[in-house]
Each structure stands twice: as C-alpha cells, then as structure tokens.
Amino acid sequence: MRASHLEDYYQFLRFPSVSTDEAHTDDVAHCAHWLVEKLTAVGLEAKLMPTPGHPVVWAKNKHQPGRKTVMIYGHYDVQPPDPLDLWDSPPFDPVLKNGYVFARGSTDNKGQILAHILGVQETIERDGELPVNLHFIIEGEEEIGSGNLGNFLTQNLEALRCDVVVVSDTGMVARGVPTLSYGLRGVTALEVKITGSKMDLHSGMFGGAVANPITALTQLLATLHDKEGRIAIEGFYDKVKPLEDWEREAWRKLPLDGDKEILGETGSPDLYGEKGYSTLERLWARPTAEINGIGGGYQGPGTKTVIASHAMAKLTFRLVPNQDGPEILELAKKHLRKHLPAGVTMEITDGHSGPWYLTDPHSSVGQAAQRALRDAFSGAEPALIREGGSIPITSQFRTILGVETLLLGLALADCRAHSPNENFPLENFDAGIRLNKAILQELAK
C-alpha cells in the first residue's frame, strides 16, 4: 500500500464526525470539507450539498453519453465512541497493530468508502479517465437514520439518474471470502413508558397497595416471546417471506460455522432463538423483537426503598421481506395494550423506521458484482448472503432512483463496528481498492 493512502486514511479517521452529538457538529462539517478536498484532488468535480442536518458530499466525473452510470454510496459520520474506558487506544487517534487499523469509523464506514475513492484515484492516474459515468454520494447522517438523504435524492433526481448503486457498508462471511449481500433486514422502533403513582413512593408505606410500574413493565415485556423464542405478537409472522430452497442450501455450504462464530464473537454461554431455523437463518432471514433499553427507579449505590412512579423500555423489531414497518408497530401496540397489567397506564412513542431490502443476486448486475469480487480476491468464489442489519437507504435508491443496490462488503465479523476497538484490516482496505477498479470495469460492460 502507498504511504499516502495510509496517511489519507489516518486523516479521515481523526475527525470525530459523530452525527448524533450536537457537540460534534463542527467536526462533522470539517470531515465533509476534507472529503470534498480529497475528491477534488482525485480529479472529480466535488461539492458540499447542505441539508437541514449534516451536509451530503457529492462528486462526479465528466459524464459521457452512451456509458453506464454508477453511483457509489457511503457515509462519513460515525457512532459515538462510548464507553471510552473500553478502548485500548484513543478512538480518534488511529493505531496500526498486527495489520489492523483501530479507530472509530475504521470499518463503518470510512475505510470502506475511502477504498473506493482511492480505487478511482488509481484508475484516473493510470488511464486518465473512468470507464463509467460516476457519482459519489457520501452522507453525514447514516448513523442517525439518513433522515435527509431521501429528500436530497428527490430534489436532484434528474442529475442523479444512474443504472446501479454500489455500497460497501456490509460484511464478509470469513477472511478472504468475497461476499455479496443481496438482502438486509429492516427495522422499526418504539418506546414504552409505564406510569403508576404521580411520584415515587415509600415502599414500606405503599408497597402492596399500589402497582409497581417496574414490575408491570417486566411482566409486559415477558409476553413478547413464548418459551420457544418465537415472537408472541398476534399476526407478526403473517407476511414473512419464506426462505428459498437455494438460499438454505447455499448458506449450508458457506465456509462458516455460524454457531461457533457467534459464540466466539459474543462470548455468550449458549445460542438462543426461534426453533426450526439455523443460526444464520435466524440472523439473516427471520424477524426479531428486542428490548434495547430498560430503566426505572433508583440506580445509585446502596438501597433506596421506593416504588418508582414510572418505568420505560426501548424496543426494536428487525423486519424481513414482506413485513411492513407501520403495520408491525400497530400489531405490537395492540399486543402491549392487551397485556398491560392492572394499576398502571402506558404511553407508546414511535421511533425510527427503515424498510428491509432484497434483490436478485443472479441478475446481470449481480453477476457483474460476483465477477468483480472474484477479481479482487484472487479468484475466490463469492458467498451470497443476506445480513441481519439495516441500511434503509437501499430501499430509497429503489423507490426514488428506480435502481438496485450491490452490497459489496469488506468488513470482518470481528470488526467491532459500533463497539470499542473498532478495526479494519489493511488487506481488506487494499482489496477494496482492487474491488472498486474491478466493479467499475464490469459494470462498464
């Protein structure tokens, strides 16, 4: 790898571009400006596009008639680094250790999108031009739901017309195994607040006479699943698209022991989930109901004998084809109201939402992606998978631009995205540069 490429990477990672924290608004803006300067230096026309939130970076080459038009999407915002005490090195001071770069954003998504930028740079340096008409769209709000990107696409629809979108914000099934993700789960969220008394009460004076909101909340949440790990919300599975036979067969043949990988990565004592499905099937193609946060009552040291006035929980539901987010929220609300214990009231607040995505990996662009992956990874056969996470903008590319998205991941299972000690291997950074050159050549055909 060129020393200049590594220095570009380090500079990019030093920006604490945390989109969810207003204290980092200037850092996000400075990171966006750095990208504009880098893309301009590469030889593209680049500009900063304001939104009601953080800006979008838009860059393109000189478009020529008769060529395919490709959009490469990524994001420059990152997750908060907390908890800081669990990092082995400062999260925004990148460190190279044993071939891995450790820093917040190293995988998600700065390493992956920069690899594409550097691939374009090397192609222009070698050939003087690209084989396709190209757009880079790099946003600063992916980690907070891409709330303004849909409007940006709509407002610039004619200028952004393209044949396909390429995204590297997903993972690989194993080291050295190129991976095409053709499906993603969606997500929808809500928050529940359970209220009993108008204030905290002395548990000796009132315990046994009034309902405890924390007890009521835990009883309510316990109704979400049955003893077999199946979601107990009536109608929840009615529209779930079954797995295709070829998918189950392909996933069984992957060079990946899903059970071993999950146990090794998480440190969990055992696996758990819906019966009748393998670990990978549950992770990639089955919906979930998760309690992401719960709180109420005294949290300090020692004992405080109170009955809290209220308790709360945050819930998310991972969605699969053909589930509808608003419909699932209504089913969940109906379930919660039906099972609400006596003596308390409940408020439900809707949270963010993003649809699932599924495309055909055997389409012409899917086959082009597989050829490019073989080229970038020394002839290794690509794995065809779905993923458990969500990239809601992929569905907007389909509905607004009318095009499919190729998800060409470069992250490994132990990249620790969103967690302390996030990392990215330099061998995948280099592979990403090769992949960019290969995919643009293949799509040009």
Q: Which of 327, 387, 393, 331 is nearest to 185 (CA)?
A: 387
Rounded to whole angstroms, the Cα distance separating 43 from 23 reads 33
Neighbours of 55 (CB within 10 A): 24
- With tokens 């800081």, the residue in question is 84
User: What strand order describes the sheet that includes 310-319?
Assistant: 288-296, 310-319, 186-195, 345-354
- Catalytic choice (8, 27, 77, 281): 77
- Catalytic choice (27, 139, 141, 142): 142
Q: Which of 115, 80, 92, 142 is nearest to 5 (CA)?
A: 115
Give yes or no: 142 in active site.
yes
Give yes or no: 77 in active site.
yes
**Main-chain phi, psi angles of 59, to 5 degrees:** -135, 150
The residues, ordered by sequence, that sit 6+ positions from 292 with a Cβ below 8 Å of its Cβ are 314, 315, 316
End-to-end CA distance of the chain: give it in Å, rounded: 28
Which residues carry out catalysis? 77, 142
